[in-house]
């Protein structure tokens, strides 16, 4: 005996899958790695299919880091740090052409560096507003050296080399600046003469190319010739801060030597060693300031 039954009940409709990162987004595409739904914003193309952004990040963390010759993170493509440094210099140069305050606030002179130590670095991003050739030459040299050194060292170490060499250029200028014996001559002395330009940092790059190429057994003749030519220019052209060139070159050579000697296997020690180079520069600057006493009442004119 059969009993009457009502209409067959419909199974409840299954909710559409949604992205775990964006629950308001319906996602019918699934990650090939974790099989979770992933919305278009979280999809990343893989060699086969699509992966979610979380799996891509996890894979990047677990993948071994490719290192450059001297232990930095290997980079390819455009030298972005070099391009960024050039861009900053160009922007600052435009600012210099717009107002004299940019040059006055950022240029370096030994008499200013004691109380405003940031000038040891900022002067390297300025150039002579009355000479377009000044910035053109320095940026061309930075571009040539940067394309070579940035992939070799990795972006972080290349940036450190440039900045520390820039500081070294200013320290060299302070160490070698003239300090006359009479009060009347002070404001015309090197101690009061401001300097601008990336030349100190660029000479640091020149010297680094020589040191690193020598370490690798590569050709150094062309760069030595370049250094010799630029070192001779101050003997024929006035108003060139050869002291900054020398300071930058010595500092760049020291930074490169530290990286080369420690090598790839001891790359963790690079940063401590570079901090040591900065410390030496700071100590030299402090000693120099301790040995110079300005006549009473003398101010920057």
Task: Quick: pLDDT tens for 151-209.
Answer: 999 999 999 999 999 999 999 999 998 887 666 677 777 888 899 999 999 999 999 99
pLDDT of residue 301: 46
- Residue 230's region, left for phi above 0, alpha for psi from -120 to 50, else beta, is alpha
| Superfamily per CATH, domain 80-291 | Rhomboid-like (1.20.1540.10)
**55/32 Cα distance (integer angstroms):** 9
Average pLDDT over residues 2-29: 72
Query: 64 falls in which pLDDT band (50, 70, 90)?
Result: low
pLDDT of residue 63: 59
Average pLDDT over residues 50-66: 76
**198/211 Cα distance (integer angstroms):** 20
If you average pLDDT over every residue of the chain, what do you get? 87
Average pLDDT over residues 103-116: 94
Higher pLDDT, 111 or 85: 85
Selection from 235, 230, 177 nearest residue 202 by Cα = 230
pLDDT of residue 297: 61
**pLDDT tens digits for range 66-99:** 767 777 776 777 899 999 999 999 999 999 999 9
Query: 240 falls in which pLDDT band (50, 70, 90)?
Result: confident
**pLDDT tens digits for range 287-298:** 999 998 877 666
Average pLDDT over residues 260-271: 88
Listed by start position, the domains of the chain span 18-54, 80-291
Specify the range with the lowest mean pLDDT, choosing from 38-47, 64-73, 130-139, 186-195: 64-73
CB 189 within 8 A of CB 180: yes
**171/189 Cα distance (integer angstroms):** 16
Query: 10 falls in which pLDDT band (50, 70, 90)?
Result: low
Global pTM value: 0.78
Residues contacting residue 103 through CB under 8 Å, at least 6 positions apart: 96, 126, 129, 196
């Amino acid at each position: 005996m059969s009993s009457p039954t009502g209409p067959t009940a419909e199974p409840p409709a299954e909710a559409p899958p949604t992205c775990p990162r964006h629950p308001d987004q319906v996602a019918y595409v699934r990650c090939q790695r974790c099989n979770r739904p992933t919305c278009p914003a979280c999809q990343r193309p893989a060699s086969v299919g699509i992966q979610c952004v979380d799996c891509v990040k996890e894979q990047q963390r677990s993948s071994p880091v490719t290192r450059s010759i001297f232990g930095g993170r290997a980079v390819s493509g455009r030298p972005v740090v070099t391009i960024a440094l050039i861009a900053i210099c160009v922007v600052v140069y435009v600012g210099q052409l717009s107002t004299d305050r940019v040059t006055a606030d950022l240029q370096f002179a030994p008499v200013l560096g004691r109380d405003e130590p940031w000038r040891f670095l900022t002067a390297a991003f300025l150039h002579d507003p009355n000479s377009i050739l000044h910035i053109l030459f320095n940026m061309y040299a930075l571009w040539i050296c940067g394309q070579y050194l940035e992939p070799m060292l990795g972006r972080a170490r290349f940036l450190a080399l440039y900045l520390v060499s820039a500081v070294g250029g200013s320290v060299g200028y302070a160490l070698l600046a003239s300090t006359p014996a009479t009060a009347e001559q002070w404001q015309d002395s090197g101690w009061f003469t401001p300097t601008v330009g990336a030349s100190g940092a660029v000479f640091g790059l020149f010297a680094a190319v020589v040191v690193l190429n020598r370490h690798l057994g590569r050709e150094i003749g062309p760069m030595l010739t370049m250094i010799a030519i630029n070192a001779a220019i101050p003997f024929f052209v006035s108003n060139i801060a050869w002291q900054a060139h020398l300071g930058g070159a010595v500092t760049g050579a020291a930074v490169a030597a530290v990286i080369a000697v420690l090598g790839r296997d001891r790359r963790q020690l690079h940063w401590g060693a570079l901090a040591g180079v900065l410390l030496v520069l700071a100590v030299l600057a402090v000693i120099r300031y301790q040995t110079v006493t300005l006549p009473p009442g003398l101010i920057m004119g």
